[in-house]
Amino acid sequence: MKFLVLGAGMQGSAGGYYLARYGNAKEVIFADLHLEAAQKAASRINQLIGRPIAKAEAIDVRNSKALVELFRKSKAVFSAVDYQFNLAITEAAIEAGTHLVDLGGNTEVVLSQLKLHEKAQLKDISIIPDCGLAPGLGNSLAAFAVEQLDECDSIQVRCGGLPQNPKPPLSYKLVFSVRGLTNEYFGEAWIIRNGKREKVSTFSECEKLEFAAPVGACEAFVTTGGSSTCPWTFEGKVKNYDYKTVRYPGHYEKMKCLLDLGFLDTDPISLKSADGQLTRIAPREVFHELATQKLSFPNDKDLVVLRIEARGKKSGALMSLKYDLMDFHCEKTGFTAMERSTSYPAAQVLIEAAEGRSQKGVRPLETALNNREYLKGLLRSDLKITGLSL
């Protein structure tokens, strides 16, 4: 089995490691715009696996011809590049006849990818967008929970990447792009209420919840993107479905204060410098710059929590299900909790596709796999999900 990892950053490196360890891989190619980054990732994986399984290549994903040629060197592609390229990458995979998963990041892009379903079907390949943690593993666990019930009244998905030792000012550590963070916080989110899909405002409906030690008390609020296609998939099948992001207590009120003061506005304002020159800048850009400096905490370790709660009926009786994932920075491999819990599930999806166990075409994750078998495969790794009976 030959795999290609597109993008050799944090998520790509962790995904390539999983493919090399669990994917019956003969070769894992890391391809990046910067050859040095691809070489660094390949060297790291070779060291972790203990054999020369990974190699490096340079690629500019904006060069569609070169992309197709590169795709033809492998059976399956793990894309860890920015979501803005995912539609073009999907088209390249179809032309090359190569299985593909990506880490998504934008539901509108995913809906555009799904329109290429029949073309991918004709090539007898599987393309599964928006894999990872949430969206990703959260969707698969939600789908599995729905399968266990005859009637599903509600699905609640709660997920967060958190510092193990929260520090001021926001009890938060950046575990991915700050632009991605503010994009998730502010906008609109799709949910299901009373059996119908609808939009609600993000950064709303804050609630309290409790996790096992060492996490403890947390809060969660509506954000966008974490549900991906589930509101479309489950409309008419599930009465209520929503997704919220988890943070430590107090984070919501502090961010709301910044929002109310206008520090997260995207419309530029005029500022006068000391020499009297006028500059126009969006307040959110200032926040992005300062947050990157103040919230990175590069030496601090992270953790991830994911909870799926489902309620409904089975054989006429009320039934509740709760699945919990709690993961931590891995000392052995050096991968963060966010890298592991995002890339490992996506890489297992790609293995399912490469080994012929996924539906063909461009499919939403929650409909593409045998969820039970997929979860069994994922739990070969050291990710642990409590409450899950397979």
> Which residue, chain included where needed, has tokens 């050291």?
382
pLDDT of residue 96: 98
165-179 as b/e: b if 16+ CB within 10 A = ebeeebbbbbbbebe
Q: Is the dihedral of CA 369, 370, 375, 377 positive or negative?
A: negative
Count of beta carbons in the 10 Å neighbourhood of residue 83:
21
Q: Are 199 and 157 in contact (CB under 8 A)?
A: no
- Fold held by 137-328: Dihydrodipicolinate Reductase; domain 2 (3.30.360)
**How many alpha carbons fall within 13 Å on the CB side of residue 306?**
30
How far apart (Å, rounded) are the C-alpha atoms in residues 14 and 49?
Answer: 12
Q: What is the pLDDT of residues 116-147, one digit of tens each?
A: 999 999 999 999 999 999 999 999 999 999 99
* Residue 168 reports pLDDT greater than 80: yes
At 187, the pLDDT band (50, 70, 90 cuts) reads confident
At 298, the pLDDT band (50, 70, 90 cuts) reads confident
Range(s) for CATH 3.40.50.720 in the chain? Answer: 2-130
Q: What is the pLDDT of residues 262-287, one digit of tens each?
A: 999 999 999 888 888 888 999 999 99
Q: Return the CA Rg of the chain.
A: 21
Q: Are 350 and 79 in contact (CB under 8 A)?
A: no
How far apart (Å, rounded) are the C-alpha atoms in residues 343 and 16?
Answer: 8
pLDDT of residue 20: 98
Q: Are 160 and 198 in contact (CB under 8 A)?
A: no
Q: What is the pLDDT of residues 341-350, one digit of tens each?
A: 999 999 999 9
How far apart (Å, rounded) are the C-alpha atoms in residues 137 and 140?
Answer: 5
How far apart (Å, rounded) are the C-alpha atoms in residues 320 and 190?
Answer: 23
* Residue 177 reports pLDDT greater than 80: no
What does residue 160 show for φ and ψ, rounded to 5 degrees?
-160, 145
For 2-130, give the CATH class: alpha beta
Largest CA distance in the chain: 75
Q: What is the mean pLDDT of the chain?
A: 95
Mean pLDDT of 358-380: 97
For residues 19 and 178, the model is more confident at: 19
Is residue 283 helix, strand or coil?
helix
Q: Is 80 exposed, middle or buried (0-12, 13-18, 19+ CB in 10 A)?
A: buried
How far apart (Å, rounded) are the C-alpha atoms in residues 267 and 44?
Answer: 43
Q: What is the pLDDT of residues 208-229, one digit of tens each?
A: 999 999 999 999 999 999 999 9
**How many alpha carbons fall within 13 Å on the CB side of residue 188?**
6
Residue 325 is encoded by which pair of tokens? 């994932």
Range(s) for CATH 3.30.360.10 in the chain? Answer: 137-328
Q: What is the pLDDT of residues 58-115, one digit of tens each?
A: 999 999 999 999 999 999 999 999 999 999 999 999 999 999 999 998 899 999 999 9
